[in-house]
Structure 1
Amino acid sequence: MRALILTAIIIVIAFVVKVDLTEGSIPLTALQTKNTATTSLCEKEPHYITVQTIEGDTIHSLFALHPAKVPMTFPERLQLFYQLNPHLQLQEISPGEHIKLPLSFELANNCGK
């Protein structure tokens, strides 16, 4: 009987680990509540251009070819890049792919100021 219970526990733990590794962290985001009505009005939206990549393109080379219109640090621009292209967080840039390059920030709304 102990072996059966131990086997069931191991299977449950293995399933939880598998789900965690394939779908990301155990869904704690469901516990976080956002007020989307107020956050969407005050978020910054970047200006961007769409470019088609060629063989050998990297994020660094694309940023160098298309500089930002306003001064921003590389981490800030990289964060905007991944917001615009979330599919590239876990994969390389493929030749012929159309991606969005951030150029600057613009406030979507002045948030009452």
Structure 2
Amino acid sequence: MRALVLTAIIIIFAFVIKVDLTEGSLQLAAFSQKKTENALCEKEREPNYITVQTIQGDSIHSLFALHPAKVPMTFPERLQLFYELNPHLQLQAPVPGEKIKLPLSFEIENKCGK
């Protein structure tokens, strides 16, 4: 009988540890991060964009080539902005006739100026 009770206690203890490690015992606790000046500036950045209507055969590369950025930007930076402006295109290609937003540059708020 002791072995059965001890086994049940061990199983319950293991289950509690598993739940605590996977879901956490403080899942509802709010942990605030210190906001630095750079982090605030990153959130205030808004891309300057134009809206274009796609045609048959358009790709992201061809649209970027037709409408170059106003400021020097790497392709990954511009692509990230493109997907922020057009989140529905992350898993599909542009459809002919669809209006999409092409990022041209960043507009930075005056609060970020140093």
| Common fold by TM > 0.5 | yes
Query: 3-state DSSP class of the match of 2:105?
Result: strand
- Give the alignment's Cα RMSD to 1 decimal: 2.7
Q: Tell me if structure 1 keeps the 8 A contact 2:54–2:95.
A: yes
Amino acid at match of 1:45: E
What CA deviation, in whole Å up to 9, does each residue of 1:33-86 have, x standing for no partner? 788xx9589421000000000000000000000000000000000000000000
Would you say 1:105 and 2:106 are equivalent positions? yes
Q: Deviations over 1:67-111 (max 9, x none)?
A: 000000000000000000000001111000000000000113424
Tell me the TM-score normalized by structure 2: 0.61
**Percent identity of equivalent pairs:** 73
SS state at 1:95 partner: coil
1:1-113 maps to which residues of 2 (within 5 A)?
39=40, 42-111=43-112, 113=114
Q: TM-score, normalised by structure 1?
A: 0.62
1:24 aligns with none
CA distance in 2 between counterparts of 1:72 and 1:44 reads: 14
User: Which amino acid letter does the alignment assign opposite residue 56 of structure 1?
Assistant: G
Equivalent residue number for residue 6 of structure 1: none
For the residues of structure 2 that align with 1:32 and 1:48, how far apart are their CA atoms? 35
Q: Secondary structure at the match of 1:94?
A: coil
> Is the 1:41–1:109 contact (alpha carbons within 8 Å) kept by the matching residues of 2?
no
For the Cα contact (< 8 Å) 1:53–1:96, is it kept in 2? Answer: yes
Distance 2:54 2:113 in 1: 40
User: Residues of 2 paired with 1:85 and 1:99: CA distance?
Assistant: 7
